[in-house]
Structure formats: structure tokens, C-alpha cells
Chain A
Amino acid sequence: MGKPIDLVQGTLDVLIMRSIAQQSLHGWAIAQRIHLVSNEVLQVQQGSLYPALHRLEEQGWIESEWGESENNRRAKYYSLTQAGRKRLKQEIDNWDRLSSAITLVLKKA
């Protein structure tokens, strides 16, 4: 694993939202998932994760609920709201366009 890449805040937001698109997860699980699915390239710091989660909830893209975790303890589960789903789609489209454009420039210019 190389040095953890710094994630811009907006990018972290969309990663979080994507992670909970299929299934509600609690904070720790979200971090693990992002880490695993990215082949351990991306490591989300707690210091960025939780503020991001709270901010997303504040903005209305995700909602939270206390539930029982896999080891029978209380944990806060996050899931996407309707508005959040729409926003996720928008953000993914944006990201695709952005990254294709950057790739073009880097390969050709």
C-alpha cells in the first residue's frame, strides 16, 4: 500500500454515499468498505469520515438510525435518502466526465 492519498472533501462525500447505496452501514463499516473495495488504496481517516457523515446528514443526502451491530452493540447506521440517491447519480456522472477529461489531457497533451 502506498502513502494514503488525500481525498478532496467532495470526493469523500460521493464515496460514502456510494458505499451505502445498496445497504445501510455504520461509520466503521463504511471506512472498511471503501478501503477494501479500492484494493486498499484508499484509507479514510476517522477525522474526515465522521465530520463528513454528519455534514451529509445535515444536508439531507443521508439519514441515520441507531441499530444493533453484528457484535450486538449499538451503532449508528447510515442510509441514502431519496434526494441523496439523485444526488449520487449526479455526482457520479460529474466524476465520470471530469476524470475522462483529465485522462485525455494527461495522455494526449
Chain B
Amino acid sequence: MRRLTSVLRYLRRSPAEEDLNEELKYHLQRQFELHMSSGMSESEARTTAQKEFGGMAQIQEECRQARTGYWLEAVLKDVRFGARVLVKEAGFTAVVVATLAFGIGANSAIFTLLYAAVLKPLPYTEPERLMALEASLDQPGRGQFRFGWSYPKFQDLQRLGTAYESIAGFSEWSFNVTGAGDPERVDGEIVTGSYFAALGVKAMRGRTFLPEEDRTQDTHAVITISEGLWKRKFGARSDIVGSTIGINQIPFTIVGVMPSGFTGESGRAEIWAPVMMAPSIGNNPKRLQARMAHWLMAFGRVRPGVSLEQAAADFATATQRMEEAHPSSPGRNDTWSGRAVPMMAAKSDPVLTRALWVLFGAVGFVLLIACINVATLLLSRTIVRQREIAIRLAIGASRASLVRQLLAESILLSFAGGVAGLGFALATLKILALQNSQVGDLGNSPMIARLNLTSLTLDWTVLVFTGVVSLLTGILFGLMPALQASRPDPGSALKASGVATTERRPGVHASGLRSALVTAQVALAVVLVAGAGLMLQSLARLLATKMGFHAENVWTFRVVLPPQRYNESSLRRFHDELIARLRSLPGVQSASVASTIPLSGQNENTTGKVNNIAEMADVKVHMVSSDYFQTYAIPLIKGRLLTDVDREGRQRVAVISESAARQYWPGQDPIGHQITLGLDGWGRPVEAAEIVGIVGDVKYRRLDTPPDTDFYLSNQQRPFRQIFISLRVRPNFELPGAVIRDTVRGLDAALPVYALRSMTEIVADSASVIRFNSLLLSLFAVLALILATIGIFGMVSYSVNARTREMGVRSALGASTRQLIGLALSGGIRAGVLGLLIGIPLALAGTRLLRGLLYEVKDGDPGTMFGVCALILVVTLIACYMPARRAAAIDPAIALRNE
């Protein structure tokens, strides 16, 4: 408090200087008068008084030091002085600021990503009290599966979960929106009544759902929309509340607009509909009664006063009791259980989180390397200023004030670097966003959102982070040179100024320290280069992996045919017409309709039976039209593909993948066998079909997971509603999206076309995490290498400079050029090799952290390590090249003379 008042006093007072002056002068005057009155002459009195007083300046200085205001004043003075010095040495400043900009900027960029994906608190009230409620099924012999909840089960949970003050459910959903501009497919959620309250979110306009809207099925067709949708589709009109739009052909009233930035638990919702309307929207009247239809995700807000662990235990018992009352799979040895996980943890993608932390460590290394570079630069410069510093020490400046002034310069530099670094960070993020607009895994549970790179901004958290990092960096690299420079040895420094000395003088040249620093730089660079090398190899292997289909020249889009307007026969007619029309477009070679496409993660997961006897678990079913295999150039292995012959009314047929054949018909020929496929839990009839062909494996989920056992049924025999349409076009043919939309619109004007993408884009996207990692790690490795090279270069060239005289002498005494070069480079080469020796074990330890992120590459891959060694040695040699030439060119006469 005292400090504060004296600082305030400082800030608003009249200059304390004048006060002090006046006070001391008064004392002087009184002494003078005293002496006068004791008989001295005027001049004698004055001289005596002044002598008694001593150094006025010194006293003033001491008085100043006694005050806090002084501290502030001194710091400001240092900063102003430091700024002048730095502006004068613009070249030096520029180099340092650039180096720091890369180091600090890279850290800021990764921090932005880390914050957005991992650290940012959820935008709900008291998010730490929210827990995700998951269900899992443990089937011995088959594995563990994560599930959601059915509506009846959800109602049980609400009753039994006493540790939670509210439990809410939601499901991701896509809606065909009509009645406001072009028909559009909008992502949203179907939510239970407690959803908004549990999250603690209120509508910005209008309201959220009322309790009576959560009671009876198929009454109250109300929805809320997001702020984004309101702006985009409704022009932000003020009468939005109460207006109607069509959702899947059903009129709904908009009752509220959600606040800006709220995208629901799924992270991309723009419309929210009440769960009671789900049967109408999905055209499934039994949806809310089917106990085994697990379509809802659930979460709960823990009651105040209850700990999270208690709530989790409570939930586990609640689900147990529920199972006991209504067993989900009676007679089987399955274990259905539930668990509660803090929502923040449930929402993070573990692979992406790990990747980001690894990158954060990597940029930390880069920053360290940059700091070392800057520290050595500063060390070199303080040698030049040794004279000035020595004089200041000699006339009485305290070491502390000198260190403080040098530190002020360093911190100025690092803040300048921080500001420039923010620019670098922005640029890096923009470049990343060009590569992949989203990073993360497809096919994950909707709770885990992908990291959206295009929506990243540098908000205040990043600025604070950058500020703190800049400050710490400045202290880190500035402290050592400042301490070095202000060593109380002014005598020898004054004498030695300008005279070249050998390297044996510690304190002034600090060569041992320098080579240690450079060695550290090399070691750190080795670790980064090794990591980058491994990631790049993973990426190469991943992209070269066999996907089972040809992605070039294939385009795909999606359409959803609402049940209100399309029954089974009109579905079939639509599919046929659409394929015919698309096929007739110029440039189109083949067109097909299917329930899935490769790498989409979409499939119908079910079980089945072979010949009504043997059980098949984990069967993936796809409905495809006859041209599907041609469109994707999926090879036929045996038998035949599906053709136009396989229509409604003919025998049901199926085609299976190689893996399916291997797994369920080991050593036999599956062709001709009868299978049945059951889609339990959804109340749909069981399918029987005969196998007519085997095709090659295709990756439907991710590039880095092995293919599943796939079964293909004819789309004609079992038409699907949410279809993917795929087209293969002539090579180098540009298919305009407008043509596709027009074709579809020609068949049905109210049908939105969405997700129009090329297959090559989808393939690129599916490797997004590894690409992202590789790009960033490579960037950092390159930065690290450049900085380390500069470090070695700097050290060796400085050494050559400092030893010019010595080498001149040696040359005159008969040393050969080669010996001179050897002498000059020994330090540099030693640093490089030593750095390598230290770095390799560090790299082996460090790359273990990459384990979950690599693909088909071991973390200690010897090939990569070997490459790293070679690269570092080459880089060291390059760094030493120029100084070596200079050493070789030393003319003894000039060297000896030029002192």
C-alpha cells in the first residue's frame, strides 16, 4: 500500500528533484551562515560549507534511491536509453528481432491452436460441473463398443440419475430447410427439453423450449436457430421470432435465436428442434419408444455440493439398476454399462491433443535455440561496449543499475520480437488453413469436434501469452550477457580495449560458454529434425497406402430424400432418373448412387448370419447402385458385380469384400451362399440375400485403419434415402457445381444439394492430422536447422576473427593452409559432432512421444536417425565453409600489421 501511494505521489507530484535541491541548498546555506557567524570570511565560509557537504550529486543520487518513485523513473530512463541504442544499431536490432519473431511467433501460433482445441473453457455456465454420460457395450470375444442412449433409456436415466440436477440429451441431425430462399441442408440438433437449461444458455431473442413442448409426441412444431443462420438465411430480420420455415416439408415456427457463437454440443448446429418432434422429422413414429435405438447422446449437470467422482459412481450404479430392470440383450453374455466423464475431457480428441502438445514442446525448443542465438549475439556486442561499461562502473554506477539497463534493452528487443512474432503467427495459421480447413478425425463421436482452422483468431489470451513469453525470453537471453558484461573488472577491460587477445580470456570472450551454447543448439535441432523426419515418413507411407479405389476424377455430392414425399417406389424412380440424367451430361463417364462413399466413415453397422447358422458380428452394409464399382474402379475379384438386372422383384443379391470372404468363409468359396443381415434395434426387417461376387477391399473409415468386412446390397432392391451420388468424369474435365444443382433441381426443385467435393479433396482431408503434424514439425525443424547453422557460423567466424593475429603468426612460422583451417574449424566441428552425440539419445527419447501419431514408422527408425546425422554433419560443414575460406586466406603480413 505504501508502495502504491509513493508511486502515485511520483506520478502526480511536481518534480521531486526541485524539492531535493531546495532542501539541500537550505542546509548548505545554514552551514554557511554558521561559519560566517563563527568568524570566517565569506569565501572561507562558503568553501568550508561546501567541503563539509561532500558530493551534492552523490547525496542526491542516494536520496533518490531511497524512494520507490526512483525505481519507476530509473526503469523509464533505461527503456528510453535502450531504445536509442537499439535504433542506432539498426542492423543488429533487425537480425535479433527477426530471430525472436520466428521463435516467439511459432509459440504463439501453436498456443492459439492448443487453446482453441484443448484449453479453452466451454462457453457454458460452470462448465466444470458438466459431465458427458456415455454408454458402452462389452461383448466378450467381440470387443467394446461405445453407444448412445435410446429415448426410453434416457427417461430412465433422468429418473435414476439423482446426483445430477439436470440430464439432457441431444442428437446431431441434418435438416432439409425450405421456405426461406434456396432449399438448403442445414446441420442442427434434436434436443430434449432440459438441454438449454442444463448448459446454462439463454436465447438472445425470443425463447428456448417450454416444458409443455417436451411432453407429447408430434405436437408443438417449434425450433430455435443460431445467430449465424439468422443472419445468413433471414437477413437478420427483426420479425424472425414467430416466422415459419419448412423442415423436411413440415412447417415449424421459429421461437428463438441463440446467442452468437453458440453452436451446440456438436459444435456445428444451426437449428435446434425439440425431441418430441423427432418422430415427424425422421418419419419414424416409433422413434421415441424403441428401447434399443441408441440415437441420443446425453450429458448432465452435477448437483451443487456433489463431487464429480461421487456423481460418476452414482451414475454407474444408476445404469446398472436400469439394466437390471430392463436388460438390453437378455440371455447374452453382454455387459451394458454407463460412465460419466467430465465433459471437457470427453470432448477432446486424444490424438489431436497429443499432437498439439508435441508441437508445443517442439516450438519451445525452437525458441530456446533462438534465444541462444540472440544471447551469443548480445555477448559479442557487449565486448564492443566494454569500454563504455567499464567507465560507468568506475565512476560509481552500481552493478545492479547496469544490469538493469542492459536487461531493459533485451526486454525491448524481445517485445519487438513478440509483436513481429504475432504477425508471423497469423501468417502461419493462414497457411495452415489453406492446407486443411479442419483437423481431426472423421467418424468420431459428435462430442469431439474437429479443430476448425479457418475460424482461428488471435484473441486476448494469445496476446497475453505472447506478452509473457516475450518477457521471459528477454530475461532469459538478456540476463547472462548483462551479468557477463557488468563484471567488476574495469581495469583490465579499459586496458585491453581494441587490442586483440587470444581466446583464453574468460569473462570478456567467454568462448567456453559460447561453444557450450552452440552445442546445445545443435542437440535441440537434432531432436526436431528427427521428429519431423519421422512425421514426413508417416505422411508419405499414409498417402501411398492402398485405398482400394481410384480417387482421381471422381466427384461426389449428397442429397436426402424426405420420407414425406418419397416412398420406396418413388425413391427408386428418383435414383434411376438421376443416374440417367447425370450420365447424359457431357464429360461424365459413369454415375452411381450409394449409401456411402470411401473414407466417409458412413455405413450401417449390423450383425448377420451365414446360411442361418454361423454368426457374423460387426458387418458393414452398403446400398449401392450398379455403377458404383465402376465409378470408383473397385476391382472385381470373383463372380460378378451388381447390375441393372438386380432390381425389385428379382432375387436379392449381395457382393462382399475380400476381407469379408476371408473372415467368414475361410478356405471356401462364398459365392452362392445365403446370408441374412439383421438391422436390429431399428425395427426394420431382416434382409436375406445370395452372394454373387467378391470385390477388392476399400477403406471406408480412415486411411490408417484396416478395411472392414463390407457387404454391398443393390440400391435398387433396397433404396436408401440419404444418398451419396458419385460421378466419374473424363480426365481434366471441370464439372461445374451449377450443372449438378440444375440437374437435381430439374427433378425436384425443393431438394438441396450439399457436400459437393472431389474425392481427391476427401482423401487429402482424411490424412489431416498427420499432414498437419508433418507440415508444422517440418517447418519447425527447418527453422531450428537454420538457427543452429547461424549459431555455428557465428561462433566459428567470430573465432576466426578473434584469432586472426594468432593465425597470422602461425602462418608466418610455417603452418600450412590446411592446418590453419583445421585450427579455425575445430571449435565448430566439435560443437556439431558433440551436439549430434547429445542430440541422438535425446531424439530417441523425445520421439517416443510421437508414438500415437506415426503411421507404419517406428519411433526409433534407424533410417531416419541416420539421415538426421548426415544432415547435421552437412549443415555443420556448410556453416563452417565461409569462415574456413577466410582462415585460409589469411595473409600473415596483413594480419600482423592490422592491429
Contact = CB atoms under 8 A, between A and B. Distances in A.
B67 A46 contact: no
B54 A47 contact: yes
Contacts of B27: 27-28, 31, 46, 50
A74 B53 CA distance: 19
A11 interface: no
Nearest to A27: B27
Given A45-B54, A46-B52, A60-B2, A75 B26 contact: yes
B544 interface: no
B30 A28 contact: yes
Contacts of B29: 73
Contact of B66 (A27, A46, A54): A54
Interface in A49-82: 50-51, 54-55, 57-60, 66, 69, 73-76
A85 interface: no
A28 B35 CA distance: 14
Contact of A47 (B30, B58, B67): B58
A50 B59 contact: yes
A51 B63 contact: yes
Interface string A21-63: 0000011100100000000000001110011001101111000
A58 B66 contact: yes
B23 A46 contact: no
B19 interface: yes
Given A46-B53, A50-B59, A51-B59, A58 B6 contact: yes
A66 B63 CA distance: 17
Interface in B1-28: 2, 6, 19-20, 22-24, 26-27
B814 interface: no
Contacts of B31: 28
A76 B23 CA distance: 6
A51 B57 CA distance: 12
B26 A28 contact: yes
Interface string B53-65: 1110011001101
Contacts of B26: 26-28, 69, 73-76
Interface majority SS (helix, strand, loop, mixed), chain B: helix
B32 to A, nearest CB: 11
B23 A50 contact: yes
Contacts of A54: 63, 66-67
Given A58-B6, A73-B26, A76-B23, A46 B54 contact: yes
B68 interface: yes
A45 B31 CA distance: 12
A44 to B, nearest CB: 11
Contacts of A47: 53-55, 58-59, 62
Contacts of A55: 66
B68 A46 contact: no
A79 B63 CA distance: 18
Contacts of A76: 19, 22-23, 26
Contacts of B59: 46-47, 50-51
Contacts of A60: 2
Nearest to A47: B54
Contact of A74 (B22, B54, B63, B65): B22
Nearest to B16: A54
Nearest to B2: A60
Contacts of B24: 46, 50
A26 to B, nearest CB: 7
A74 B26 CA distance: 8
A31 B49 CA distance: 14
A30 to B, nearest CB: 10
Contacts of B19: 66, 76
A103 to B, nearest CB: 33
Contacts of A51: 59, 62-63, 65-66
Interface in A89-107: none
A73 B68 CA distance: 28
B19 to A, nearest CB: 7
A26 B31 CA distance: 13
Nearest to A49: B27
Contacts of B30: 28
A46 B52 CA distance: 8
A50 to B, nearest CB: 5
A54 B63 CA distance: 6
A46 B26 CA distance: 12
Contacts of B6: 58
Given A46-B59, A55-B66, A75 B23 contact: yes
Nearest to A51: B62
A66 B22 CA distance: 11
Interface in B64-121: 65-68
A47 B50 CA distance: 12
A55 B67 CA distance: 7
Interface string B642-677: 000000000000000000000000000000000000
The 9 lowest CB-CB distance pairs between A and B, nearest first, are A51-B62, A55-B66, A54-B66, A28-B30, A54-B63, A47-B54, A28-B27, A76-B23, A75-B26
Given A46-B54, A50-B24, A66-B19, 17 more contacts: A26-B26, A27-B26, A28-B26, A28-B30, A28-B31, A45-B52, A46-B59, A47-B54, A47-B59, A50-B59, A51-B62, A54-B67, A57-B66, A69-B26, A73-B29, A74-B26, A76-B23
Interface of A: 26-28, 31, 45-47, 50-51, 54-55, 57-60, 66, 69, 73-76
6 contacts: A45-B52, A50-B63, A54-B66, A58-B2, A75-B26, A76-B26
Interface of B: 2, 6, 19-20, 22-24, 26-27, 29-31, 52-55, 58-59, 62-63, 65-68
